[in-house]
């Protein structure tokens, strides 16, 4: 092994866009242009009645998704939108939530803070275990099921079309809402897009949570929900008495970037630069971790593995740190008492921000550490 001190830490622990993924120049241009055009409204409170979001941005997002603008609610990032949705949907008598296991750790923290009882359904390489979901539904129908069907964070798994159809069917039969979190959906590097759950359900029963963080800029903090118009209004009213409104300037910049085609061209660029990183990541994980690979992702930021090892997670992470590898604890992605398969640790490997050599080197080292510890 190379000595850890020879090189910087290999950072496997954060799913942020690499610098080159953000169209900084266009964002700067659009920021200057909108301040020049509408200086008086950019630094003011939003006009009364605009708590659903900047009207121009809502029009742009509605066009992007081919939905009525009434169905768009804009919040300060998609995490905040999820928090408002949880606040809106959960209550003392409506506390049951189903999620994939593993799932996005911050979503779990939000549900926990809102007093939810969370059940994790095992995630398979083509989406959550639908049979097990059906069994659970016979005894307990949740308020909502939270899923990231495309290139899931943390696993990279995409839900198959058959499972999508089955899930939408079950939501109709049993009467629960699906929260479809779709921040990576546009970042597909291989194959054709599958229909979204919202498209399959025709708008009923599915609330989509989306964001411009991965396709334009995370710093703008622009996330949004696509739901029925009543839910949009409820979210706006909750937002108004929580944080009042997202930053008007950020919303206006986002609207202009959508209108000027900056988002569309940036998505094209992202596919160009991230696709090869995904390809090399798949090769590296297959080479160094073998059949521990969870699923070869067709897009997004993440590849993951179930690593066979006898040691506990804390010992493993400490050993990795000593070798200059930072890794998020995989257990944080599981709602208790759900865990990875017995005898394995769940490993999330974000590939979007590392050069392929560093990624491969890190994965190789990770494999060696696991092997050494298991002797």
- 7/113 with CB nearer a copy of itself: 113
Is 277 in contact with 354 (CB distance < 8 Å)? yes
Q: Which residues contact 183 (CB under 8 A, 6 or more apart)?
A: 78, 148, 153, 209, 210, 211, 213, 214
Residue 253 to residue 324: CA distance in whole angstroms: 39
Residue 2 to residue 16: CA distance in whole angstroms: 27
- 16/259 with CB nearer a copy of itself: 16
Residue 288 to residue 52: CA distance in whole angstroms: 48
CB contact burial 160-179 (16+ within 10 A = b; e otherwise): beebbebbbebbeebebbbb
CB of 157 to a copy of itself, least distance (A): 23
- 79/285 with CB nearer a copy of itself: 79
- 243/341 with CB nearer a copy of itself: 243
CB of 57 to a copy of itself, least distance (A): 15
* Residue ranges binding a copy of itself (CB under 8 A): 14, 16-17, 19, 22, 24-25, 27-28, 31-32, 35-36, 39-46, 48, 76-77, 79-80, 83, 87, 106, 109-110, 113, 213, 217-221, 238, 240-250
β-bridge partners, 308: 344
CB of 109 to a copy of itself, least distance (A): 4
Residue 371 to residue 185: CA distance in whole angstroms: 35
β-bridge partners, 174: none
Instruction: Name the 3-class secondary structure at 155.
Output: coil
- 116/157 with CB nearer a copy of itself: 116
Per-residue tokens: 275: 């696709």
- 30/171 with CB nearer a copy of itself: 30
CB of 60 to a copy of itself, least distance (A): 18
- 88/308 with CB nearer a copy of itself: 88
> 322 phi and psi, to 5 degrees?
-60, -25
CB of 245 to a copy of itself, least distance (A): 8
CB of 308 to a copy of itself, least distance (A): 30
Residue 219 to residue 24: CA distance in whole angstroms: 11
Rg of the chain taking only CA atoms, in angstroms = 21
Per-residue tokens: 267: 């998505």
Residue 336 to residue 103: CA distance in whole angstroms: 12
CB of 301 to a copy of itself, least distance (A): 13
- 104/288 with CB nearer a copy of itself: 104
CB of 39 to a copy of itself, least distance (A): 5
């Amino acid at each position: 092994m190379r000595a850890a001190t020879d090189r910087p830490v290999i950072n496997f622990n954060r799913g942020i866009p690499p610098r080159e993924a953000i169209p900084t120049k266009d964002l700067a241009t659009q920021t200057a242009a909108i301040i020049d055009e509408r200086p008086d409204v950019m630094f003011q409170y939003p006009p009364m009645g605009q708590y659903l979001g900047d009207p121009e941005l809502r029009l742009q997002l509605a066009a992007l998704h081919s939905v009525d603008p009434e169905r768009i609610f804009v919040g300060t990032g998609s995490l905040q939108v999820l928090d408002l949705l949880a606040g809106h949907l959960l209550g003392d008598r409506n506390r049951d939530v189903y999620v994939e296991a593993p799932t996005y750790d911050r979503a779990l923290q939000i549900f926990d803070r809102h007093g939810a009882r969370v059940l994790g359904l095992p995630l398979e390489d083509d989406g959550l275990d639908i049979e097990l979901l059906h069994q659970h539904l016979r005894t307990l129908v949740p308020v909502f099921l939270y899923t990231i069907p495309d290139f899931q964070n943390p696993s990279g798994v995409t839900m198959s079309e058959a499972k999508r159809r089955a899930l939408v069917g079950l939501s109709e039969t049993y009467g629960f809402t699906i929260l479809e979190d779709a921040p990576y959906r546009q970042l597909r590097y291989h194959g054709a897009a599958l229909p979204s759950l919202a498209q399959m359900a025709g708008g009923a029963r599915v609330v989509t949570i989306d964001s411009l963080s991965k396709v334009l800029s995370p710093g703008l903090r622009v996330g949004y929900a696509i739901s029925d118009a009543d839910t949009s209004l409820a979210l706006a009213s909750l937002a108004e008495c929580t944080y009042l409104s997202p930053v008007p300037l950020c919303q206006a910049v986002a609207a202009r970037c959508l209108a000027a085609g900056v988002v569309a061209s940036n998505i094209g660029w992202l596919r160009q630069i991230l696709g090869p990183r995904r390809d090399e990541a798949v090769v590296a994980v297959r080479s160094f971790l073998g059949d521990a690979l969870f699923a070869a992702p067709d897009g997004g930021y993440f590849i993951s593995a179930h690593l066979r090892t006898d040691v506990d997670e804390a010992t493993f992470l400490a050993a990795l740190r000593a070798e200059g590898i930072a890794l998020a604890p995989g257990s944080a992605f599981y709602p208790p008492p759900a865990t990875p398969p017995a005898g394995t640790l769940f490993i999330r490997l974000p590939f979007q921000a590392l050069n392929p050599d560093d990624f491969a080197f890190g994965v190789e080292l990770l494999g060696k550490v696991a092997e050494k510890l298991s002797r």
